[in-house]
Chains A and B, each alone.
Chain A
């Protein structure tokens, strides 16, 4: 079992839950399984080509997956995944 932390903007898709349980051997598999349980979630995280949207940060046990293997990062039972949209702005 993998614990996934859902940010407030995506909670309408998880019936308001801030934490959901999922499975999957990689971040990519986990996203596909999450989308089966909570339809529409993948579209918010990934673009049409299935690539992670550029403002979406994903952490596995507080490690940024950009510094691991991106969406191919492997997951194991007991891992905690956090999804955190970037916060940015500018003129």
Chain B
């Protein structure tokens, strides 16, 4: 896979999104053409409000999340709002863009995909980008390809 090219303004906006929602996890999609990102879609983290949200996780994770208050769930997990996702995919179709990046933030841990992130990675053609606010003053951003539960670093080039 070749490097992803992402406009600096969009990279800055990913960090801004993560900071706005801190301590809750943010999430969203980037779309483009031939590995060059052109569009940024912020998607609501619906883990605390969507009744399907809990079902996508495995039983151990459901138990763990179930023990938390609803609002606290969004500090440790994300679930993209399905209607907003559908609208983003529709916009990509109309603009002839492809899904390039799926991003979310980790507000208390490093920019590395968790076991749950890997288990729920159903889009092998999109890079998974994580913004870590573990160190609040110096956010870290890393991207990965996740295929068949294996994680490979993805190169990101700011343009």
A interface list, Cβ under 8 A from B? 5, 7-9, 18, 54-55, 57, 59, 62, 64, 66, 82, 84-91
Query: CB-CB < 8 A to B61: which residues of A?
Result: 90
Query: CB-CB < 8 A to A7: which residues of B?
Result: 123
Which residue of A8, A55, A82, A87 is within 8 Å of B27 (Cβ)? Answer: A87
Given A9-B125, A59-B86, A91-B116, does the pair A86, B99 have CB atoms closer than 8 Å? no
Q: Which of B9-17, B77-85, B151-159 contacts A (4 or more CB under 8 A)?
A: B77-85
Which residue of A5, A54, A84, A89 is within 8 Å of B55 (Cβ)? Answer: A54
For residue B76, CB closer than 8 A to chain A, the reply is: yes
Measured CA separation A12–B65 after assembly (Å): 34
Query: CB-CB < 8 A to A59: which residues of B?
Result: 86
B interface list, Cβ under 8 A from A? 25, 27, 29, 43, 47, 52-53, 55-57, 61, 65, 76-80, 82-83, 85-86, 89, 93, 98-99, 102, 104, 106, 109, 113-114, 116-117, 120-126
Question: Can you give 12 contacting A-B residue pairs, CB < 8 Å?
Answer: A5-B93, A8-B126, A54-B55, A54-B56, A84-B85, A85-B123, A86-B120, A89-B78, A89-B113, A89-B117, A90-B47, A90-B78
Query: CB-CB < 8 A to B114: which residues of A?
Result: 89-91
Could you tell me if A90 and B116 are in contact, using CB atoms closer than 8 angstroms? yes
Which residue of B77, B85, B99, B125 is within 8 Å of A91 (Cβ)? Answer: B77
Query: CB-CB < 8 A to B93: which residues of A?
Result: 5, 18
Could you tell me if A87 and B83 are in contact, using CB atoms closer than 8 angstroms? no
Given A64-B82, A64-B83, A82-B86, does the pair A88, B123 have CB atoms closer than 8 Å? no
Query: CB-CB < 8 A to A64: which residues of B?
Result: 82-83
* Residue among A54, A62, A66, A87 facing the most chain B CB atoms (10 A cut-off): A87
Q: How far is the CB of B34 from chain A (nearest CB, A)?
A: 15
Query: CB-CB < 8 A to A66: which residues of B?
Result: 52
Query: CB-CB < 8 A to A9: which residues of B?
Result: 122-125
Could you tell me if B77 and A88 are in contact, using CB atoms closer than 8 angstroms? yes
Measured CA separation A21–B49 after assembly (Å): 34
